Structure 1
């Protein structure tokens, strides 16, 4: 399924509005307005004053009129809106101002070299993903950890699709809500960095129409990449497993991600050993 590329001007407008409306004027120490606030968050004129731009400019940005703000203006808006680093990157990507020299895909030979690395990481479960969460390579331990993975058609070997729409995997994560939230925040960042990727837009459209949780979380416009953490798994064969994960980005191919799991405790290590010995 494919769809048209994202409308960056419209998404930039919606993102700015959502972040402005999410700010608490009292926490920013702004003076009390002469008239009561009718809507949550900051007013456009307050954002304009904090960023050093005109109110009319903020209005036109929030109306999606196709403006191309400079890097300096974007940095000022990011400061005014108190954006986190990942949100700032998202803002710059939407405006087409970040990483101007980044290649559109992995360099020649990168996938083959990293595929060998995935295999060499055994017995640690590992897999290689692209910016869409397509699974490009995996080792036997990861294949056993993902329920019924070998039966999944190649066209559906996508980590987000497995979590959302593959019944054996839907119940794998004890905290599925947080796993989805983290994955969607990554997909939104990737969506802004690759606005012409119709395949990615198509995946997002499919997920939004087929899974209510995805649609709900996508509408919240959270952005970011969680590169380290812990997950509790409910594996149908190995039982309860707690794993720590690391996401590594190759310097020459930043759109690829190497995901590695490690047992977080001795009980989980024993469970993984039994699973991988089958």
Structure 2
């Protein structure tokens, strides 16, 4: 991944283009035009009209020409492009309208607050771990270590949830829907990168993944953004077999840059499989 691909102005331009091109003008109730559309989505002049700005302004934004749109203009563009809340936050972050305190990031591998580390342990027998915005794994309980194949054999400096999913051989078949697991993780990393533009460790991590894994590079280019904080996953454990878990991601109020991930068995069969795994 080149430096240009990690430039906020160029990413803002590409993101606006991608969201404009995905919209269906018929569904938005826009009047039909006599001349046929040569490209999918809305025209720039249609976005400009919906947002209340000039067409030239939209053109310059999509060309990455160094504009710094105001919060009011960004809000209008978000409405015109029908952005969801996660995409809207991403747009604001790219333009420099960020929440205070989210322009950098903690040092890679920084120790979490002792109270949070104890909480992870107290959640046993539910598998739990604490992640930072880079997906570095900061704390975990014995049940999570048992559930993730060969987790404790991974060097501490490489214990990153996305790296495990992408590059750890024992994890290649762990998620039954690996494509969706990657999409969720990449969408989170994209949002984290926009919120932490000065975080060199995060930028280096994304560049590493993009150069070492074709699936990551392909999905990163789709520019999906957001965090899926609740759902269900089918896991394929090499020893315990299929396990279905419901997951929940919680953000500590005093440490909102951290994420507490908790798995719960989704059915009695999965609960029994986990009990057998922990008893080994």
Aligned twin of 1:175: 177
How big is the shift at 1:5? 9.5
Cα distance in 2, alignment partners of residues 247 and 128 from structure 1: 10
110 and 207 in structure 1: CA distance in 2 versus 1, 3 angstrom threshold: closer
Cα distance in 2, alignment partners of residues 171 and 23 from structure 1: 35
SS of equivalent to 2:189: helix
How big is the shift at 1:100? 2.9
Q: Compute the RMSD of aligned alpha carbons.
A: 1.9
Cα distance in 2, alignment partners of residues 253 and 131 from structure 1: 11
1:207-245 Cα shifts (integer Å, max 9, x gaps): 111111111111100001000001111101111100100
How big is the shift at 1:190? 0.4
Cα distance in 2, alignment partners of residues 155 and 4 from structure 1: 27
List runs of 5+ in structure 2 lacking aligned partners: none
Aligned twin of 1:100: 100
Q: How does 1:134-173 map to 2 (within 5 A)?
A: 134-173=136-175
SS of equivalent to 1:195: coil
Aligned twin of 2:234: 232
CA contact (8 A) 1:52 1:76 kept: yes
SS of equivalent to 1:245: strand
229 and 28 in structure 1: CA distance in 2 versus 1, 3 angstrom threshold: same
TM-score (norm 2): 0.95
How big is the shift at 1:131? 0.4
How big is the shift at 1:158? 0.3
Aligned twin of 1:7: 7
Q: How does 1:68-107 map to 2 (within 5 A)?
A: 68-102=68-102, 104-105=104-105
SS of equivalent to 1:32: coil
Q: How does 1:1-278 map to 2 (within 5 A)?
A: 6-102=6-102, 104-105=104-105, 111-278=113-280
Deviating above 2 A after TM superposition, structure 1's stretches of 4 or more consecutive aligned residues are 2-6, 100-106, 108-111
List runs of 5+ in structure 1 lacking aligned partners: none
Cα distance in 1, alignment partners of residues 72 and 228 from structure 2: 27
SS of equivalent to 1:132: coil
